[in-house]
Amino acid sequence: MTDGWDWRQPGASGVPAGQPGPGHPPGGSPTTPPYGGQPVASPWWSDALADPWRDPHAPTAVVIPAAPIPGTEPEPVTDPDAPGRPKLRQMLLIPLITALLAGTLGGALGYAFAVRGGVAAPVLGAAPGSAPTLAQRPPESLAGVAERVLPSVVTVRMVGVGGTSEGSGFIVSADGHVITNDHVVAGGTGKASVIFNDGSTASATVVGQDEESDIAVIKVTRSGLRPVEFGDSDALAVGDPVLAIGSPLSLANTVTAGIVSALDRTMQAGEPGGPTRYYAAIQTDAAVNHGNSGGPLVDAAGRVIGVNSTIKSLVSEGQEAGNIGLAFAIPINQAKRITQEIIGTGKARRTVIGAQVGGPGSNTNGSGVRLAAVEPSGPAAGAGLRAGDVILRLNGRPMTEPTDLIALVRKYAPGSVVTVEYRRGSSRQNTSVTLAADAK
């Protein structure tokens, strides 16, 4: 009977004595049997495999790794082909390269399609250069003048029985006085509204108005106003450049340019049933339309030299008149004087010569204006003029129609001395007349 233990002596299994048996590692040592006895060299027994039931025919080589010696471990080696965590630079670089490739591809495809379709991308414009002198807008240019004057120009609206009338105006004093036309505020309730250059609004009251000169003064209560600068309308010459500024056809802040076409253009204007107005006006070809009335006419230095008032137009009765290059402005010397009188006294004085024109026998075939009557104590009588005398010139200005004499006289202030050339019978004579204010 056996107990599973092999008690064979060395060499019993065919293994020479002193040699390691199967399963006994080289350099192994004899082991002690479990039941005592002399130590024998087991052919398969080892200290590591103390299993008494181990199959003696199993492989006998058992390799037990040796314990590492401290300090002799090899340095860790990273596999360059192993996947790793992407770095921040790589994360940013990938979308950037993708975007560049997409843009390049899109541009190339677009260009290819354009060329294939026969549409080549043109190069627009020339190489940039320095701005021309006119584009630099110096203060004395028309653009510079407009920029300087526009903040002083306003739109005037007046509500009346017949509806709302609209015109233009301009600020003449820091405390809010505004000049406009009488026909802009005529028939109103005395309350107006003013729209400034920046679009803000303010209420206004009518200070006074003069029907025959077509000048009215309104006032707004507002701080920071910029009044215009006045020029000298007597110093104008035909051909001088001018700007007309206002709100034609409700188009606020409109600027048009032209020249002085004529001076002392005498004319008679007025609406049916209304007052008759006489103008010795500044004629201009600057575009002026309905709504420009009351706005400033300025010279090349930005100084106001006239008040835009009326236009000539080739329309039939009842049709809307428009610009045809014939516009007329009240000389600013006359408008300024009337404005000062309205502010000071509430009304304006009318300048007279103390004689009447027109009526039977007044036709002189365009060679002067015949006096129909002379007031005994008036200026004309004081200068020696008589009824029937024909006024040929006033301050060198030829007289051809009765309107000429009336309009030109009203241009001057009361107290002005004018030279009159007249014909009495067949003789020509000259005299000086001191104009006066109407008694009313």
Residue type, 393: R
Residue type, 181: N
CA distances for 240 relative to 13, 257, 283, 297, 408, angstroms: 143, 11, 11, 12, 21
Strand 229-230 versus strand 277-284 pairing type: unpaired
Q: Where are the alpha helices (DSSP H) in 3-126?
A: 88-116
**Burial per residue of 309-328, b for 16 or more beta-carbon CB atoms within 10 angstroms, e otherwise:** bbbeeeeeeeeeeebeebbb
Query: Looking at the DSSP assignment, which residues form a beta bridge with residue 390?
Result: 370, 423
Q: Which candidate in 46, 168, 293, 309 is catalytic?
A: 293
The token pair that represents 19 in the structure block: 């040699």
Tell me the Cα Rg of the chain: 57
Instruction: Tell me 44's DSSP state.
Output: S
Q: Which candidate in 42, 46, 168, 214 is catalytic?
A: 214
- The position carrying tokens 């009318």 is 350
Burial class (CB in 10 A: 0-12, 13-18, 19+), 300: middle
Dist CA 159 CA 178 (whole Å): 17
Dist CA 18 CA 39 (whole Å): 12
- The position carrying tokens 């199967």 is 22
The token pair that represents 291 in the structure block: 């709504």
Q: Which candidate in 24, 177, 183, 290 is catalytic?
A: 183
214 assigned to active site: yes
Dist CA 440 CA 437 (whole Å): 8
- Chain-centroid distance of CA 222 in Å reads 24
Which helix or strand (DSSP H or E) is residue 245 part of? strand 241-246
183 assigned to active site: yes
Contact 156, 180 (CB under 8 A): yes
Candidates 369, 378, 424; CA nearest to 402 is: 369
Contact 180, 218 (CB under 8 A): yes
Candidates 89, 104, 294; CA nearest to 186 is: 294
The token pair that represents 235 in the structure block: 């110093």
**Would you please indicate which residues are annotated as catalytic (active-site) residues?**
183, 214, 293
